[in-house]
Each structure stands twice: as C-alpha cells, then as structure tokens.
Structure 1
Amino acid sequence: MSLYESAREAVCQFQPSLRRARSWVPAGCAADPDRARAEAARRAATKSRRYCAANGLDRLWTLTYRGAGCHDTEQLREDVGRFFRALRAELGGKPFPYLWVPEWHKDHGLHVHFGMGAFVHRSKVRSAWPHGFEHSKRLTVPHGGDEFAARRQAARYLSKYVAKTFASDHDFGRHRYEVAQGFQPVPTLLSGSNEWELLEAASDLMGRAPLSSWSSDDEPDWQATPTRTFLW
C-alpha cells in the first residue's frame, strides 16, 4: 500500500508471489493502442488529482490569447514557462505548487487551465500574462463542510482536463500537463498479507477510517493488478 497522507489517499495493490515474464514493448507499438491511451489517461488523471489534493490547488485560472490565438504548442510552452517565472517574481520569488494543462479551442487555438493553492491578485496574473485574458474562480464547500472536499473537487476538475488531452486527437507536444517540481506527494509504503491488515495500519496513521473506497473488481474491463483505493 502507498499511503499519501497529504492527499488523504491510499492505493493498495496485490503483488503475486510469482510474476509473469513481461516483454518490453516500444512506445507506440501497443497491441491495443486505444486501451493503452485509456490507461495512460487514467494514470495521468490519478497523479494530477493526487498532486492537486495534496497541495490544495483549489483556485482555478484560465489563460487565453487575444486575436487569432495561439496554434503552436511549443510557443504555448514558452509563454507559460515565462508566465510562471514572472508570477513567481511578482510573488516574491519563492517557489509554489501549481498544475497547468493545455486545451484546444475550435476557434481560438490553445489556451491554458491552471490551479494554485493561494490567493493571487488578478493584477499580478495580468502583469505576468501579457498575451490576452485571464479568468479565475475558487471552488468552495458549503459553510461547515470539510475544507478538504474543496481540494478534491478542484483536483477532480483539473484531472478531467488532463484525461481529456489523452482522448483528443490534437497534438500537445512533449507533455500533456505540467506541475511545479518539488511538491509531489511522497507516499508512506506499507505491506501486509491482506488489504484489511493494510487498511487498519493506514487508518491508524490517518487517525480514522476512510470515508470512501474504490475497487478494481467493480471495473469489468480492468486488466491491471488488482487495486483498491481509499480516501480519508
């Protein structure tokens, strides 16, 4: 079991005593490309969701281009790279966690969605992004609700955009999403003879039982290692 305490999530996988020999398959040569793409999308969405939840990225922004827009992924990456360097300078120079993902618009080319975990005045974002327009919103929970629920809601929101890039036929260049390095959640590794033993150990560390769970047994097309996910 990998327990991501900062993301309040644990992933439990069964590891058989005997493992099948697996042959290496070159990139782009999968027997079922559609399934390979779906698996890649699932893994990317999971990693991005966990990153957002762990770092509290509940402030969501969209950056767009004015005029005819941007239709070059390399240009977009250069612009976004300069944007985050400029924004960091505007905020005092200290690194901060963020995740950004590109999206194609049918009329205006590329734009960017990104998440942050701290309030930033719109004027600072506007100063760092001279190419067009910006829009922001913060996901909140009803009064008295669990603030971590807003983190998860925002995390799911952004991870859907990440998964969407894998389903798209558009070219997104080298990577389909980017995160600030140095803020990835680090798991505590647990091992045991069964999932209930692991769940008890994880619950002791988290201080309570999980709020929800998911099982690969409920997925008819699941072909990977049997997996359980628990959320606190």
Structure 2
Amino acid sequence: MRSGQEAVKRARRLLRQYCAANSITRLGTLTYGPPRCSDPVLLREHVASFFRDLRAGLGGDPFPYVWVPELHKDGVHLHVHFGVGRFIPRGKIEEAWGRGWVHIKRVSDMPVGSTTREEARRAAGYMSKYVSKSFDGVQGKGLHRYEVAQGFQPEKVRLVGDSRAEVLSKACDVMRAHPTDVWLSEDVEDWEAPPAVWAAWA
C-alpha cells in the first residue's frame, strides 16, 4: 500500500515540475460522443492520434503537453483532461479530436498580478488531483497515470554553496519563489545519516 502511495506522490511531483517548466496554463477536456470509450488502451491510441493531428494542424512543430485519463461518474467510460502552454484555437482542437466534445480555457481563478509560473502551478494542481486516483481495473493496470510530450522534461540544475542557506537562496532564485515546504534532518530525533534538506515548490 505504501509503495502505491509513494508512486502517486512521485507522479504528482513530476507532473507539477513538468507543468511549471513548460508554462502549462491552459486546461482542456476531451469527451467522447457515441460510441463512448471504456478501453484504456484504445483511449491511449486515440489520444496519441489526437496530439499528432493537432501538431500537424498547428504547423508540425512539437509543443509541450500533458494529459490524464479519468473515469466518468458512471465508473465505466473514459474521458481525458489535458494541459498545454500556448493558445490553440478551439476549432483546431475539435478538428484533431473528432470523437465528441472539447473544452479548453486558460487558468483564470488567480489573484490579480499572478505570474505565468503561478498559473502553471495552479494548472498542475488541477491535473495532479486526477493522478492520485487509482488506475487499476477498468482504467488499465500497469498503464502510466499520465503522459507528457517527450523532449520537454525539465533539466536537473546543480547548485553549490558554502551553506544550506546559500543553496536554498540560489534555489529560490531559480524557482523565482520561496519553497512551500521545507524538511530538515536536524528536526528528526536520532538522525544518523549526513545532514539533509528537502524543499518543495508547489
């Protein structure tokens, strides 16, 4: 059970990193019309075809995206939530999907003056809630909880400093924000390993 929870946490963390790195600020939904789809493998074929056709319709250049499947409330049929980091005309999305209905909007429920990165973090929050749901059974055991466009994964950045404070300060400069969560090994009683710091940016 614990390994499953850790897998969910890891998937959500990686998804948040991807969304922030690629300014994913627009969220959409792909819904099937009749005949609807309940086959998770077929769904992935349809979504792969959708993004290939969408890329072709936009000129052929690759672009970052993320998508997550979800079950309808009926517990049988599937639909797709997706995120992109650029404006795409609704007509282009409808043409590429061609299997039902589409919805697309930019993240808008933000405080005045919010940055693109903050919008991307909010979008990542919406997407990651679907990742936390179980994808066994009808949704396809062993299939990925989400998919992203290849070639846009965030790169690792190595930061070096003479103190914990200096390294955290450099990380804040890179992230352009203060961490939302910080864990220190010194706060753990009987910690026997080398000193460690963990920080997260939502």
| Same fold by TM-score greater than 0.5 | yes
Is the CA contact (8 Å cut-off) linking 1:213 and 1:228 kept in structure 2? Answer: no
Work out which of the residue numbers 124, 144, 147 in structure 1 matches 2:116.
147
Aligned to 2:90: 122
Structure 1, unaligned stretches of length 5 or more?
1-33
Matches of 1:202 and 1:149 in 2, distance apart?
16
Structure 2, unaligned stretches of length 5 or more?
none
What is the TM-score of this pair, normalised by structure 2?
0.83
1:82 aligns with 2:49: yes
**RCO higher in 1 or 2 (8 Å CA, sep ≥ 6)?**
1
Aligned amino acid, residue 125 of structure 1: I
Query: 3-state SS of the aligned residue for 1:102?
Result: strand
1:148 Cα shift? Answer: 2.1
Aligned to 2:169: 200
Two-structure CA RMSD over aligned residues (Å): 2.7
1:159 aligns with 2:128: yes
Is the CA contact (8 Å cut-off) linking 2:64 and 2:85 kept in structure 1? Answer: yes
1:182 Cα shift? Answer: 0.4
Give matches, 1:47-196, under 5 Å.
47-107=14-74, 109-140=77-108, 141-165=110-134, 170-173=138-141, 174-191=143-160, 195-196=164-165
Percent identity over paired residues: 46
Matches of 1:109 and 1:227 in 2, distance apart?
43
What is the TM-score of this pair, normalised by structure 1?
0.73
4+ runs deviating over 4 angstroms: 191-194
1:207 Cα shift? Answer: 9.2
1:193 Cα shift? Answer: 7.0
1:64 Cα shift? Answer: 0.8
Aligned amino acid, residue 116 of structure 1: V
Query: 3-state SS of the aligned residue for 1:79?
Result: helix
